């Protein structure tokens, strides 16, 4: 049985616009980026020093929900979306499935060597847009991040031999430029830790057309990268502290776990 339903949360309406330098300020649609002061004066002063920061960014908490494909991130976000003072941003999967009539997500699963760079370039752009969009509530919970796009998905394509070295190099240059020059603040990572088999079962249940070709081994590689990054910490540096929530349980138990962890999660807003 297929159970893919459009997210009731919807995608945040975003203005589209061309980024253009104006002295030290850059306007991208409704986003205003300003050059941060050298040090101090901001909660994340050291991390942001000298970078472009979104205006007013230091007043809001950003929590990223991370986890394997179909681990339950959207379901978790739907639960917290019912809380006042929390704004929820799901991944822009609808855009990845339809950019001007093209489906880079589907193309990537059909032929990763050819289309991996196309999808991941677009993921990087749309995730950057998510990070920089204006925050309307004191706390933002967002699905995944610019960081996992690079450290998990791009890395997995490259390491599995499905992304040519030149494509990986270009994506890495883009990622390094963005993270060197633009502040991408994250206050907490919530890792929904699942077994690859659980994700495989949930993936089949969700039945997203493009994902029907995903074998268990693909989820195992993604799982390993997540574990190396967020649990073993043997891989790349973390952009924020990590809260791990075991997520193999049934829905009712998961909702209970979310409630139990609510204070720890929202504590990110007092940092
Ligand atoms: N705890 C759970 N137990 C069983 N099924 C779940 C659970 N959480 C989510 N699901 C189902 O698994 C599928 C994937 O969940 P979803 O929240 O879309 O994952 P993600 O956003 O991480 O890809 C959906 O069909 C969803 O209804
Ligand atoms: N950088 C990324 C991010 C996501 N994907 C794929 C994986 C899934 O098929 C889909 C959405 O992920 P989910 O929210 O269901 O975990 O997008 C990718 O290929 N690269």
Query: Which atom from ligand 1 is nearest to the alpha carbon of 207?
Result: 25
Q: Whose CA is nearest to atom 2 of ligand 1?
A: 251
For residue 204, the CA-to-ligand 1 centroid distance in Å is 10
Q: How confident is the model at residue 35 (pLDDT cuts 50, 70, 90)?
A: confident
Exposed, middle or buried, 10 (CB in 10 Å: 0-12/13-18/19+)?
exposed
90 contacts 98 by C-beta, under 8 angstroms? no
What six digits make up the tokens of 10?
């919807």
Pocket test for ligand 2, best of 94, 118, 129, 153 (most atoms within 8 A of CB): 153
Which parts of the chain fold into alpha helices (H)? 45-48, 73-80, 93-97, 104-110, 112-132, 146-148, 155-159, 165-181, 196-206, 216-226, 251-266
Phi first, then psi, for residue 6 (nearest 5°) are: -60, 140
Domain membership of residue 217 (yes or no) is yes
Domain membership of residue 4 (yes or no) is no
Q: How confident is the model at residue 9 (pLDDT cuts 50, 70, 90)?
A: very low
What six digits make up the tokens of 43?
């909660």
Active site residue 78: no
Domain membership of residue 26 (yes or no) is no
Domain membership of residue 51 (yes or no) is no
**Which residue range is the domain that position 222 belongs to?**
60-270
Report the C-alpha gap between 94 and 74 in whole angstroms: 13
Output the domain CATH number for residue 172: 3.40.50.300
**Does the model's ipTM exceed the 0.85 cut?**
yes
Q: How confident is the model at residue 37 (pLDDT cuts 50, 70, 90)?
A: low
Domain membership of residue 199 (yes or no) is yes
Which pTM value belongs to this model? 0.88
Decide if pLDDT at 56 tops 70. Answer: no
User: 64 - beta bridge partners?
Assistant: 142, 189
**Catalytic annotation, pick one of 4, 143, 211, 227:** 143
Pocket test for ligand 2, best of 7, 64, 68, 91 (most atoms within 8 A of CB): 91
Domain membership of residue 193 (yes or no) is yes
How would you label 178-198 residue by residue, b for 16+ Cβ within 10 Å and e otherwise?
bbeebbbbbbbbbbbbbbbeb
The Cα-based distances of 12 to 53, 129, 131, 133 in angstroms read 20, 11, 12, 9
Count how many domains the chain has. Answer: 1
Ligand with smallest separation from the Cα of 79 = 1
Q: Whose CA is nearest to atom 15 of ligand 1?
A: 72
Ligand with smallest separation from the Cα of 120 = 2
Domain membership of residue 70 (yes or no) is yes
Q: Whose CA is nearest to atom 5 of ligand 2?
A: 153
Domain membership of residue 25 (yes or no) is no
Q: What is the pLDDT of residues 146-174, one digit of tens each?
A: 999 999 999 999 999 999 999 999 999 99
For residue 211, the CA-to-ligand 2 centroid distance in Å is 9
Q: What is the pLDDT of residues 206-235, one digit of tens each?
A: 999 999 999 999 999 999 999 999 999 998
Which of these ranges, 9-23, 26-40, 101-115, has the smallest mean pLDDT? Answer: 9-23
């Amino acid at each position: 049985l297929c159970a893919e339903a459009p997210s009731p949360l919807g995608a945040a309406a975003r203005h589209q616009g061309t980024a253009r330098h104006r002295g030290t300020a850059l306007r991208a649609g409704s986003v205003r980026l300003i050059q941060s002061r050298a040090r101090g004066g901001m909660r994340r002063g050291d991390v942001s020093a000298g970078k472009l920061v979104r205006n007013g960014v230091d007043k809001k908490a950003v929590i990223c929900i991370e986890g394997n494909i179909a681990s339950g991130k959207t379901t978790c976000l739907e639960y917290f979306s019912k809380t006042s003072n929390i704004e929820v941003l799901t991944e822009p999967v609808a855009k990845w499935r339809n950019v001007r009539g093209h489906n880079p997500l589907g193309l990537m699963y059909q032929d990763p060597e050819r289309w991996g760079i196309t999808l991941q370039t677009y993921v990087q752009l749309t995730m950057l847009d998510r990070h920089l969009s204006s925050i309307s509530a004191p706390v933002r919970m967002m699905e995944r991040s610019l960081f996992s796009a690079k450290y998990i998905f791009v890395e997995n394509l490259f390491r599995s031999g499905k992304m040519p070295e030149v494509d990986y190099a270009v994506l890495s240059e883009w990622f390094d430029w963005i993270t060197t020059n633009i502040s991408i603040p994250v206050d907490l990572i919530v890792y929904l830790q699942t077994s690859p088999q659980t994700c495989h079962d949930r993936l089949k249940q969700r039945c997203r057309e493009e994902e029907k070709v995903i074998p268990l081994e693909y989820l195992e590689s993604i799982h390993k990268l997540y574990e190396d990054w967020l649990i073993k910490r043997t891989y790349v540096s973390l952009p924020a502290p990590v809260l791990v929530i075991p997520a193999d349980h049934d829905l009712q138990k998961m909702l209970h776990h979310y409630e139990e962890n609510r204070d720890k999660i929202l504590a990110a807003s007092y940092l």
